Every structure is written in structure tokens, then in C-alpha cells.
Structure 1
Amino acid sequence: MEPGTEIKIDEVLKIGDVVRVSGTSKGKGFAGAVKRYGFAGGPRTHGQSDRERAPGSSGSTTTPGRVYKGKRRAGHMGNERVSVSGLRILDINADLITVVGSVPGVKNRLLEVRKI
């Protein structure tokens, strides 16, 4: 197949096929540990006004005397490549593929669709 060859979608995919859709997820900016990882946070009452959404302790004591790499903390969330597998095709039009379920990203973003 040469570059620039036109491929018709209905020749490659059929209604009922199961596909994997990959794309860039929605960016959420800088997020705390509670939003980013679902941490419980601290108690809501009994005078704990400043620890409600705090992540808690970040490490051990004297040994090892450091915080391990990969520790789940606050930081940038979203805007990364995500794949969703097992989506069934409901309908195929000239410029639209309808699947069962959600796909990653914002409106009008390019997606990669692969047959499983």
C-alpha cells in the first residue's frame, strides 16, 4: 500500500467489531493527592481545619531517611495517552464511528481506533 492511498472505513471495520481507542486524556492541571489518587484526607471535624484534604505522611523515619521515588503526591493530572479496550462498534457513517462507552479526550481531538 502506498502513502496517500484512500482507505474506506467500512472495508476495515464492521458493526459489532470490538476495538481499542487511544487518545490524549483531558488535562486537569495541578491536582492534589485527594483528587489525583483518591486519598481519603484527614478528619473533617475535631479541630482539624487545616488537614481536611492533606495527603498524610510522606515517608518513614530515620531509616531510610528519604522519600521513595514514585510516591503518590500532588502534581500534574491528565493530558496523557490513554487507551480504552473492549469498545463495541454500534454504527459506522462516512465521518463518524459510534461505539458503546466513553473515549478519552476532549471534543474534536484525534483518536486512534484499532481492531482487537
Structure 2
Amino acid sequence: MNVQVIMQDGRPAFAVMPFAQYEQLLKKAEMTENQADKLTFPQEVIDYKYDNNCSFIKAWRVYLKKTQKEVAASLGITQGAYSQIENAESNQKSTLEKVSKALGLEIGQLTLVD
């Protein structure tokens, strides 16, 4: 991507790029927004997440009545490693993709911003 960053007071303030790249970014953002519009969350998942101050990953796992050990086995990792994923402040996209697949969900259902 060919981007020029314009600084203001020593901090990035603007990004200038070719218009074609800008249009591509808009198209990708629109596609992502449309996908997000189609995501659903059972009220039980939302309630569990906020009542227990936990991640969406954990809330979905509990809702789907799966144990950490079961999900870990489907991922080919230990229960302890899965617990770290479930309790992490953030996870890599590749990890979220694997977990969403193991739970039968869309990645966006695990990453909704609080």
C-alpha cells in the first residue's frame, strides 16, 4: 500500500494514498460492516459475558455447553493453552479463526468490541 503519513505536532495526523487504494479500503470496510450486520448473539451469551466479566470466547463456550477440554481437543492443544486463549485480553486473528471454527461460529461473534 502506497501511503504518505502527514505529521502534526510530531504525531500522525493524516494519511494520503492513491484514490484507487482508498476505494478498495472503502469496499473492504463496507463488506466487513455488512458481515457484522448479519452476526447474531443470543441474549444468554451477552448476559453471561457481562455478568461474569469474561470474553465472548468463554461466554459462547458455556452457551454451547462445551468444556475447555473439549474445545482444546478440537484445536489440538492442551486445556491450559485453551484457557489462556479464553482469558487473554486479545488474541491473534489466526487463533480467533481456529477457535471460531471449533465453536461453529463466525470470527466476528468472538471479537465484538465492548
Normalised to the residue count of structure 2, the TM-score between the two structures is 0.25
* Higher relative contact order, structure no. (Cα contacts within 8 Å, ≥ 6 residues apart): 1
Which structure has the greater CA radius of gyration? 1
Normalised to the residue count of structure 1, the TM-score between the two structures is 0.25
Of Structure 1 and Structure 2, the greater helix share is in: 2
Of Structure 1 and Structure 2, the greater strand share is in: 1
